[in-house]
Amino acid sequence: MGGAKGKDLWELCSVPVPELKQERYERLHSMMDAEGLDALVVLASATLGRKGNLRYITNYGPPVSRYAGVVFPRHGDSVLFVPYAVHMAWAENITWAEDVRFSPDFPADVAAALWDRGYASGHIGLVGQDTIVGFEQALAERLPSIEITSATASLTRLRMVKGPLETYLARHAASMADQVFAEAASLIADGATEAEIFAAGEARLRRLNSEECLLLIDSMGRPSMPIPSQRAIAPGDLVQYSVEPVSPGGHWIQSIRMFSRGEPSLPARRVIETFTESLSIAQAALGPGVPLSEVAGAIAEVLAPIAPRSHTPYGHGIGMDNFEPPLLSVDSDVVAEVNMIVVIHPVLIVEGRRFSLGDTYLVTEADAERLSQYPLELVVV
């Protein structure tokens, strides 16, 4: 942890952490009141995309292996449980939970925390119960008088719409990605290898205090991979580069750009121009009160000359996890709301070559804002 003490690590966050905590807790308490919940029990694993619920509530996500969990009561102190004693030091440096405990037996320790807080017969909202096999049954056996309800859907709906400070974090993360793209353009022009571009991107994000990052790259028309090759970028190559940083404070964004070393072929340029047009149309269509199915339909219509209409999502939500609801698809039943954040990135295979381009968008009171400032069009270097 680099010698950080107490909550010193909070200073890396680009927004005031106590205010971010208050913003989240007020929203959580309102949700719990509406659902009649006395406490939330939320479990999460260290798997990519499975940390967000816990991070949202506690400012802590399992860093490596296994899982962690929190008892978050409507009134009183929350308790964060970690599976290894060494994780306590990590958690205590960053969590909002008032109490951090090592737990060799999550069902027993969670039951004890609920009992101590007077919720042995309360209404408990459970999230992530599939993280530990048999957890719900084991909890019910220890507290036979409690009422257990799945709160996953309620918490998912809550997290789909961001608070004002979260939207600030998303903008901050987008600015980090922009710097990576600017450096990548120079490296591609010089004929660097995929590995060198990848390494420079991760180094740049770490210098900017990115908590985590996921980079995907390809220069041969295949699916972009998190494992770069040692292949040097040659004249005429198209480079697909997806940059997904996590801001200090924990918010993900995703931006995907395509670069060409030298002028690309005319068919490739036309495909990319069609992609760019689809994103422009999608941004114009996206706004408060608009069904996401309509936005996806608008994308499908623009892409129709080069690809058939697809039920595959053209994007997804993003926040404390890099992949969250809602899905941006023609089958979606979600209506856009102010402060919803959506990644739009169609993926198509045309004549054996894979194309993807995209960005992260914030639904505002009037329309949608693209958070990145880096050009969305094909970058020729």
Whole-angstrom distance, CA of residue 81 vs CA of residue 91: 9
In whole numbers, what is the pLDDT of the chain averaged over residues?
92
Work out the percent of the chain whose per-residue pLDDT is above 70: 96
Boundary residue ending a domain (127, 159, 191): 159
pLDDT for 2: 39
Q: Is the pLDDT of residue 6 over 50?
A: no
CATH assignment of the domain containing 179: 3.90.230.10
- Give the list of residues 6+ apart from residue 153 with CB closer than 8 angstroms, or none: none
Boundary residue ending a domain (99, 129, 159): 159
Asked, for residue 127, whether it belongs to a domain, the answer is yes
Is the domain of 121 the same as that of 174?
no
Asked, for residue 2, whether it belongs to a domain, the answer is no
Overall domain count for the chain: 2
Is the domain of 52 the same as that of 28?
yes
CA angle 61, 202, 84 (to 5 degrees): 25
Q: Which has the closest alpha carbon to 174: 299, 46, 358? A: 358
Is the domain of 186 the same as that of 329?
yes
Is the domain of 205 the same as that of 118?
no
Task: Give the model confidence (pLDDT) of 115-163 as tens digits.
Answer: 999 999 999 999 998 888 899 999 999 999 999 999 999 999 999 999 9
- Residue 104's domain comprises 8-159
Task: Give the model confidence (pLDDT) of 65-119 as tens digits.
Answer: 678 999 999 999 999 999 888 889 889 888 999 999 999 999 999 999 999 999 9
pLDDT for 344: 97
pLDDT for 350: 80
Is the domain of 251 the same as that of 323?
yes
Asked, for residue 136, whether it belongs to a domain, the answer is yes
Is the domain of 179 the same as that of 97?
no
Cβ neighbours of 38 (radius 10 Å): 19
Q: Is the pLDDT of residue 248 over 60?
A: yes
Q: Crossing angle for the helix pair 17-35 and 152-160, nearest 10 degrees?
A: 130
Asked, for residue 285, whether it belongs to a domain, the answer is yes
Boundary residue ending a domain (107, 133, 159): 159
pLDDT for 7: 57
Is the domain of 333 the same as that of 264?
yes
Is the domain of 97 the same as that of 208?
no
Asked, for residue 3, whether it belongs to a domain, the answer is no
Is the domain of 106 the same as that of 177?
no
What does the block give as tokens for 236? 């005429």
Asked, for residue 363, whether it belongs to a domain, the answer is yes
Say what the pTM is: 0.93
Whole-angstrom distance, CA of residue 240 vs CA of residue 222: 9
DSSP state of 9: G
Per-residue pLDDT band at 334 (split at 50, 70, 90): very high
pLDDT for 86: 87
Task: Give the model confidence (pLDDT) of 339-380 as tens digits.
Answer: 999 999 998 888 778 888 999 999 999 999 999 999 999 999
